[in-house]
Homo-oligomer: A and B are copies of this chain.
Amino acid sequence: MSKEIGITAKRSDNFSDWYVQVVIKAGLADYSAVKGFIILRPYGYAIWERIQKYVNYHLKKTGHENAYFPVLIPESLLSKEAEHFAGFVPEVFWVTHAGNNKLGDRLATRPTSETIAYASFGKWIRSWRDLPLLLNFWNSVLRAEIKATRPFIRTSEFLWQEGHTVHATKEETDAEVMMIAKMYRKLMEEVLAIPVQVGYKSDKEKFVGAVYTITLEGMMPDGKALQMGTSHNLGQNFSKPFEIKFLGKDSQEHFAWQASWGISWRLIGATVMAHGDDKGLVLPPRIAPIQCVIVTIFYKEADRDRILSKAKEVFAVLSAKKIRAFIDDREQYTPGWKFNEWEMKGVPLRIEIGPRDVEKGQITVVRRDTSEKFAVKIDSAASEIKKILVQIQNNLHGRALKLSESKTKTAKSYGELKSYVEVDAGFVKSPWCGRRECEAQVKEETGADIRLIPLEEEKLSAKCLVCGQDAKHTAYFARAY
């Protein structure tokens, strides 16, 4: 593989350039003909399909169902909840014409589906018998980005899932919001191997229209936080304007309680950032579309068939154990070229089969995460490789956890808060009075937001680091994507 095909930026030198190169060159995504919009290429789509599979499995187990709502939303509907509308309107794409005809009411390409969905919920829900309503939509949403875009992390259109649920009580809604946050956390930590901090958003940062927002935040190697998922309790903020009412068991009419929650293809970007290295992508085995690539190596034409048939044998053994394997027997590339390509694409394990391996009844296995190379007997290949894949998964999580811990500090003064944010970056835990003024001052002076207030608060000190008033919370400050 020539230098231009491989990754030319170093992760430690230019994280941003490195990231984009990995995304493009590993074949996850590409730029499109429209500024700010990307193409999800097959390799990236396969990762997205694995995320979908995990989420669908857990949603269906907990009684949620998938549905699809229109991509176009009339302006009159979008503007029904005032705060929500004000939050989204600067980034809405507007459809004004159909063919040559000017439309009466402008149509927004959905920035999120609360308003169009809740217009129907109001129609569908009549009695407590219709509750809870537990829906989820897989779709794309459009939000015109004025800031610089970055594949997966900030794009004007993105694939995501948005869950929308309706409940009879506040307590049920709280429980839903928390259950979803826990499911997201398992996906992020156990499947993507990315440790996350879970907590509440401040009032300033919560979803427009929500009573409160639970957020899941990852810490990236460059010291910036990344919001990886959110789960909102909407209270009755939407059920009132949209008249989502139900006749209770008490024969009284009540406004319903609602939640909404989502994750997006941003998780693919998070995975690239969290685990990648100078050779390219490093995929955790649980999310990798291909877990083991089998590369055949022979120097004499006479060896070809013998080695390929051994590769097929190994492939069959691995597939039977549900290990996702792939044989790269392309003739137009050398083994060395293939090694580099599959390393760039982050396949967790490479299996080499050459004449000597066949003679010895073994395969040569190379770990992507540590570059360790060792021989494995063909007889025990499936069970050995299953074990190694678990080790890789755990190693990646452990590495990311160490990094995240090394980038989490506790500030004892405003000076420390500022210097940690500016010099070291990462999460800076700081006592905070709960007032917007102090939050805004930190943002202005350091560029850091409050990323979250942990679910279970650790009381660090009695006084807000900014103003010296009594502290109400321990806030995690960080600069963020």
Q: Least Cβ distance of A370 to chain B in Å? A: 30
Q: Is A302 interfacial (CB 8 A cutoff)?
A: no
Q: Specify which chain B residues have a CB less than 8 angstroms from the CB of A144 in the assembled complex.
A: 98-99
Chain B residues positioned under 8 Å from A119 (CB to CB): 32-33
Nearest chain B CB to A294 CB, angstrom units: 18
Is B96's CB under 8 angstroms from A100's CB? Answer: no
Hey, which chain B residues are within 8 Å of A159, CB to CB?
A: 68
Number of chain copies forming the complex: 2
Closest Cβ neighbor of A76 among chain B residues? B33
User: Is there a chain B Cβ closer than 8 Å to A178's Cβ?
Assistant: no
Contact in complex: B332, A129 (CB < 8 Å): yes
Residues of B within 8 A of A91 (CB): 98-99
Contact A98/B93 with A33-B77, A37-B70, A157-B72 known, Cβ cut-off 8 Å: yes
B99 close to A90 (CB less than 8 A): yes
1/0 per residue, CB under 8 A from B, across A78-120: the answer is 0000000000011111111111100000010100000010011
Cβ–Cβ contact A94 & B93, under 8 A = no
User: Are B72 and A93 in contact, with the CB atoms below 8 A?
Assistant: yes
Q: Are B70 and A157 in contact (CB under 8 A)?
A: yes
Other-chain contact of A68, B45, B71, B332 (Cβ < 8 Å): B45
Is there a chain B Cβ closer than 8 Å to A69's Cβ?
yes
Q: Which chain B residue has the least Cβ–Cβ distance from A43?
A: B65
CB of A12 closer than 8 Å to a CB of B: no
Cβ–Cβ contact A142 & B68, under 8 A: no
Closest residue to A41 on the B side, CB-wise? B67
Q: Return the contact of A72 from the options B37, B49, B69 (Cβ within 8 A).
A: B37
**Within 8 Å CB of A142, what residues of B?**
71-72
The yes or no answer to A241 lying at the interface (CB within 8 A) is no
- Residue from B30, B49, B74 within 8 A of A66 (CB atoms): B49
Give the distance in Å from the alpha carbon of A66 to the alpha carbon of B138 in the complex. Answer: 15
A65 to B74, CA, bound (A): 35
Q: Which of B40, B67, B89 contacts A45 (CB 8 A)?
A: B67
Measured in the bound complex, the distance between the Cα atoms of B74 and A135 in whole Å is: 33
What is the minimal beta-carbon distance from A241 to any residue of chain B, in angstroms?
A: 14
Return the 4 tightest CB-CB contacts between A and B, nearest first.
A42-B65, A98-B144, A37-B70, A40-B68
10 contacts between A and B (CB under 8 A): A30-B123, A33-B74, A33-B119, A33-B120, A38-B70, A48-B68, A49-B66, A68-B140, A94-B95, A98-B144
**Chain A residues packing against B (C-beta within 8 Å):** 30, 32-34, 37-42, 45-46, 48-49, 65-74, 77, 89-100, 107, 109, 116, 119-120, 123-124, 129, 135, 139-140, 142, 144, 146, 157, 159, 332
